[in-house]
Amino acid sequence: MATPPKMPFPTHDYPDERTREQRQRERREVVKQAASLLRLATDDAERRRIVGRIRERRAGAPRSVQVELVPRADGPDLVAASGRLLIRERDLAANREVLRRLGITEAGRTGNVTLLDVPAGAAPDGIAALAARIRKDGAPVSVDHVAPLGAWMKGEGGPEPTTGARRFPAVEFPQKSPPPAIAVLDSGISNAGRTDGYLGANIAPADVDPLDIFPTLGLLDADAGHGSSVVGIVQQVVPPAAIGSYRVADSDGITTSFDVADKMRLAVRQGAMILNLSLGTATEDGNPPIALQDVVDELLQDNPEVLIVCAAGNDASTTKVWPAAFAETHPNVVAVAALDAAGAPAPWSSHGRWVTCSTIGEGVASTYVVGTEDGPLIGDPTPDTFHPPNPWAVWSGTSFAAPQIAGAVARICSQNVGVGPRQALKLLEADATPAAAGSPYGWTVEILPGT
């Protein structure tokens, strides 16, 4: 098939209709968001404080994933799932006796990785220390890394009400074929009572974000609305796309590498050609989580045209965040860093030679959910209330950059017959601003405006 002509991405399709005064007022809040992201990336004490709050509230929900901190010598503490370990299938048979003596049992499998259940009391000094002892006994187990990407640490700079709502569809454009199906693996969506057309049509299975379960206080949980914002961004960029909303993270934003890998497989089995993962995790040893390594390798081999678009992270460093960092070695993965509202590299964004590209991730306007924030939980002295029926918010993070790239790829596919997601990404890059020599932010493109 002949390569089609370049398809410039018409960023002018998404004008910002807010007045100057509205933008200035909202900009003051976005500055807080950026400062909060930078603080969380560099202040380990703040991370510990927030994780402590999350642990306390989740203790009353024993069926949910419990979390603990994993110390790192060369960076901020990480978060791992308590009571869970992972092992590759090829290593399991030879090490069952070691695991049995510790009371560790098999609890599930995805691909070639088995989830292990650790009994209460078996890891008194932490799951990471237990994993290290078991590895010394010859069983190559791994902790199950939690992948919150910092988004659940909303802080004072969390989502803020905005006047930047767009009509649906946000843009009309000629199509030559239906856009490829997009799967958003996130916290689910909440579209209760919406009348603006967003978070409704063309979204299946539409896993629902319950918003308030840790505990039920009538206030929004730590990551409530995250999935709704991500899906709304995709819908703004490519309104006719069929979107699968897969709830992999709970309303506190907690998920694990095992659960993410399992849902990735499910989404592809159900026809998704583009996966959006606005989540990620670093690891204590810098190596990729084994469950994510397994699924990314599998998809590259068995479904090579599927494109995995990942948020690069909000760590303000070059520390690798997975699954985004697979972009360095896997052509089916895209790592998306963030630009600030003016189009310059965002200082709070993760970056490095493993990053593919960047787009604006500061003060992005999108759909949100009805409810009032839990001020004490997120450390916000003036929590916001988002009113029905059609709340919108401005939010910052690479979480809100990645879905713009996913949507742009799908839109280019729909305008070029026979072009799949990976080729569409190359067309998008061809019309982007090339990366400067040695740039750790990759090539850049502006799609939705920032604030």
Of 349, 341, 391, 352, nearest to 370 by C-alpha is 391
Residues forming a β-bridge with 84: 117
Residue 222 has pLDDT above 80, yes or no: yes
Of 407, 307, 419, 395, nearest to 11 by C-alpha is 407
* Cα 192 from Cα 179, distance rounded (Å): 26
Confidence of residue 2 (pLDDT cuts 50, 70, 90): very low
Cβ neighbours around 173 below 10 Å, total: 13
Residue 153 has pLDDT above 70, yes or no: no
Contact at 8 Å (CB) between 81 and 144? yes
Residue 393 has pLDDT above 90, yes or no: yes
Contact at 8 Å (CB) between 351 and 337? yes
Q: Classify 220 as helix, strand or coil.
A: strand
Confidence of residue 6 (pLDDT cuts 50, 70, 90): very low
Chain-centroid distance, C-alpha 194:
24
Terminal C-alpha separation, the chain: 41
Q: Classify 53 as helix, strand or coil.
A: helix
Helix, strand, coil percentages (3-state) for the chain, rounded to 5, are 30, 20, 50
Picking from 117-131, 175-189, 191-205, 418-432, which range would have the lowest pLDDT averaged per residue?
191-205
| pLDDT on residue 199 | 96
- Domains of the chain with CATH codes: 11-18+150-444 (3.40.50.200), 66-145 (3.30.70)
pLDDT tens-place string over residues 8-38: 567 678 889 899 999 999 999 999 999 988 8
* Cα 350 from Cα 366, distance rounded (Å): 22
Q: Output the average pLDDT for the chain.
A: 92
pLDDT tens-place string over residues 33-86: 999 888 888 888 877 888 888 888 888 888 899 999 888 777 778 889 999 999
Q: Classify 289 as helix, strand or coil.
A: coil
pLDDT tens-place string over residues 314-331: 999 999 999 999 999 999
Residues forming a β-bridge with 114: 87, 109
Of 118, 79, 90, nearest to 102 by C-alpha is 118
This prediction has a pTM of 0.96
pLDDT tens-place string over residues 73-118: 777 788 899 999 999 999 999 999 999 999 999 999 999 999 999 9
> Residue 66 is encoded by which pair of tokens?
């419990």
Contact at 8 Å (CB) between 68 and 55? yes
Give the residue carrying structure tokens 């009538």: 218
| Eight-class DSSP state of 256 | B
* Cα 31 from Cα 451, distance rounded (Å): 9
Cβ neighbours around 414 below 10 Å, total: 21
Picking from 189-193, 237-241, 347-351, 374-378, which range would have the lowest pLDDT averaged per residue?
374-378
Q: How many CA atoms, within 13 angstroms, populate the side-chain half-sphere of residue 112?
A: 13
Residue 380 has pLDDT above 90, yes or no: no
Mean pLDDT of the region 227-235? 97
Under 8 Å CB-to-CB from 277, ≥6 apart: which residues?
Answer: 185, 260, 264, 308, 309, 310, 311, 323, 324, 402
Q: What is the DSSP string of 108-151?
A: EEETTEEEEEPPTTS-TT-HHHHHHHHHHTT---EEEEB--TTT
| pLDDT on residue 151 | 47
Vertex 412: Cα angle to 262 and 352 (nearest 5): 60
**Peptide bond preceding 215 in cis form (omega within 30 of 0):** yes
| pLDDT on residue 190 | 95
Where would I find the H helices in 185-281? 226-237, 257-269
AA identity, residue 355? V
Residue 240 has pLDDT above 60, yes or no: yes
| pLDDT on residue 437 | 83
pLDDT tens-place string over residues 255-297: 999 999 999 999 999 999 999 999 999 998 889 999 999 999 9
| pLDDT on residue 155 | 60
Contact at 8 Å (CB) between 257 and 145? yes
Confidence of residue 217 (pLDDT cuts 50, 70, 90): confident
Vertex 376: Cα angle to 69 and 371 (nearest 5): 110
Edge to edge, the sheet with strand 160-161 lists 160-161, 392-395, 364-367
Contact at 8 Å (CB) between 156 and 32? yes
- Backbone angles phi and psi of 394, in degrees to 5: -100, 135
In what helix (H) or strand (E) does residue 412 lie, and over which residues does it extend? helix 402-414
